[in-house]
């Protein structure tokens, strides 16, 4: 059996069986390495060498957690939550419908903006979502819907709009790798190429609103234990919090570092006195603990991806799929998309998958007679497939980090499975249709 299929299969089976994702990733990496002929020593060496790749993201999450706790201390997010709660109480007779749609719309818009207008990616989630959980719970909103809304905003913009992270994915990675593989991309509108697959994401989001339309009850007491719902605040503390958030985002954009941005924000809180100096250590530790699980998953995922690359069987999987196609464009497009889904779910990053897939897929697409715009669509969709629905993707880990602070949102069953069903399946179908008609 191909090592990639074995590793990803074991990782997914263990994750779905409620084995912790970190354990599932480690066991999956060992199975993949041994299946790929690396042996136990080489597998562990590859896994250990890959761990450093996730350290930056893990540290970023830890500092964002501390920054989020400092914001909670200032009362800014709770001031917003209090206003939302007051609106809920006023609309109690109607079930708070207007507030519900306002909050869903807010999270959707911010998630989209985090990819282009203010490219901070998942940094907004631990800052914005936890304080709103009490309101969302009062409204009995299904958190699986919120996870789908945020994941849509984290993925669709970069695979469709060539701005911010989309410029990196579409122009610097997708078009560049297709051109490097020998296809003339002059005159290709990349937005046109990815338009139909993006409609698959829109379809999936619409279906999520139907699937998770019913009310879901969560324990308010558990939220109160981890998230203070009655924080004292004043205009000065709110103003300082606004300055700290603005400074953190500006520094992150200028230096391209979530670590430094979060650190600057935290230091502003400390210097202002909102966070007392003697409380700094405890508060910092509390924030880091809040994000510890996400960080460890990111680190383990980097080790897993390194083992997959070390086996050399990612390319073998891609090449072997060519022998099953038998000159059929329909079968070829479907198999390439399925391989992309499998590889991205294992690696957890669309940005890392495209260069691997393009080297083999592009010559195969040319041989099958696909047009240049269809080739761009196939490679781009194959890379994006699996970003939603991967246990190791930041597009699923991000929403979980905000929705599970009270332990009532399971990463696999409440984020990974819902996003897989509502986005990967439509994206697979719409991507195949696009490949056949473009």
Task: For residue 391, give both structure tokens.
Answer: 């246990």
Residue 124: is its pLDDT beyond 90?
Answer: no
Distance CA 427, CA 344 (A): 14
pTM (whole model) above 0.75: yes
What pLDDT score does 96 carry?
A: 57
- Give the range among 39-48, 107-116, 261-270 with minimum mean pLDDT: 261-270
Task: For residue 95, give both structure tokens.
Answer: 């079930």
Residues 6 or more apart whose CB falls under 8 angstroms from that of 163 comprise 116, 157
Instruction: Output the furthest CA–CA distance in the chain (Å, rounded).
Output: 70
Q: What band does 69 get if pLDDT is binned at 50, 70 and 90?
A: confident
Mean pLDDT across the stretch 106-111?
A: 90
Helices (H) and strands (E) in the chain, counts: 24, 0
Q: What is the pLDDT of residues 171-206, one digit of tens each?
A: 888 998 899 888 888 889 999 999 999 999 999 999
What pLDDT score does 322 carry?
A: 66
What pLDDT score does 399 carry?
A: 92
Of the candidates 54, 144, 98, 23, which has an alpha carbon nearest to the alpha carbon of residue 420?
A: 144
Radius of gyration of the chain (CA): 22
What pLDDT score does 119 carry?
A: 66
Q: Is 40 exposed, middle or buried (0-12, 13-18, 19+ CB in 10 A)?
A: exposed
Of the candidates 55, 120, 118, which has an alpha carbon nearest to the alpha carbon of residue 258?
A: 120
Return mean pLDDT, the chain. 83
What pLDDT score does 242 carry?
A: 81
DSSP string, 293-327: HHHHHHHHHHHHHHHHHHHTHHHHHHHHHHHHHTT
Mean pLDDT across the stretch 385-407?
A: 87
Q: What is the pLDDT of residues 273-306, one digit of tens each?
A: 777 777 777 777 777 776 677 677 778 877 888 8
Percent of the chain with pLDDT over 90: 25
Distance CA 407, CA 272 (A): 32
């Amino acid at each position: 059996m191909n090592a990639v299929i074995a590793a990803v299969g074991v990782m997914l089976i263990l994750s779905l069986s409620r084995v912790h994702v970190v354990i599932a990733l480690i066991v999956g990496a060992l199975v993949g390495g041994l299946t790929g002929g690396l042996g136990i020593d080489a597998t562990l060496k590859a896994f250990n060498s890959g761990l450093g790749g996730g350290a930056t993201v893990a540290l970023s999450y830890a500092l964002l957690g501390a920054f989020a706790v400092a914001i909670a201390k200032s009362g800014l997010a709770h001031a917003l939550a209090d206003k939302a709660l007051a609106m809920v109480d006023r609309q109690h007779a109607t079930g708070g419908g207007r507030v519900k749609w306002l909050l869903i719309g807010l999270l959707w818009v911010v998630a989209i903006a985090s990819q282009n207008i203010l490219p901070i990616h998942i940094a907004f989630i631990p800052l914005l979502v936890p304080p709103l959980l009490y309101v969302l719970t009062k409204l009995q909103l299904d958190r699986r819907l919120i996870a789908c809304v945020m994941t849509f905003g984290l993925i669709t913009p970069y695979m469709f709009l060539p701005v911010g992270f989309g410029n990196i994915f579409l122009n610097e990675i997708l078009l560049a790798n297709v051109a490097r593989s020998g296809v003339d991309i002059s005159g290709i509108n990349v937005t046109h190429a990815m338009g139909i697959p993006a409609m698959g994401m829109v379809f999936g989001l619409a279906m999520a609103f139907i699937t998770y339309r019913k009310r879901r009850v969560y324990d308010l007491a558990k939220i109160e234990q981890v998230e203070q719902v009655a924080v004292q605040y004043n205009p000065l503390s709110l103003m300082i919090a606004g300055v700290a958030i603005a400074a953190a985002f500006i520094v992150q954009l200028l230096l391209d570092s979530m670590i430094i941005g979060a650190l600057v924000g935290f230091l502003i809180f400390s210097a202002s006195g909102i966070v007392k100096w003697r409380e700094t250590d405890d508060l910092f530790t509390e924030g880091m603990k809040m994000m510890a699980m996400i960080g460890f998953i990111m680190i383990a995922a980097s080790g897993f991806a390194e083992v997959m690359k070390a086996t050399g069987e990612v390319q073998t999987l891609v090449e072997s799929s060519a022998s099953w196609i038998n000159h059929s464009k329909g079968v070829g497009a479907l198999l390439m998309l399925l391989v992309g889904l499998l590889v991205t779910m294992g690696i957890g990053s669309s940005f890392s998958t495209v260069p691997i897939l393009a080297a083999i897929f592009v010559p195969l697409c040319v041989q099958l007679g696909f047009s240049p715009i269809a080739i761009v669509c196939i490679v781009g969709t194959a890379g994006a497939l699996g970003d939603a629905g991967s246990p190791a993707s930041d597009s699923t880990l991000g929403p979980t980090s905000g929705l599970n602070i009270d332990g009532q949102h399971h990463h696999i069953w409440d984020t990974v499975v819902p996003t897989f069903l509502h986005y990967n399946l439509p994206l697979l179908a719409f991507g195949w249709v696009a490949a056949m008609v473009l």
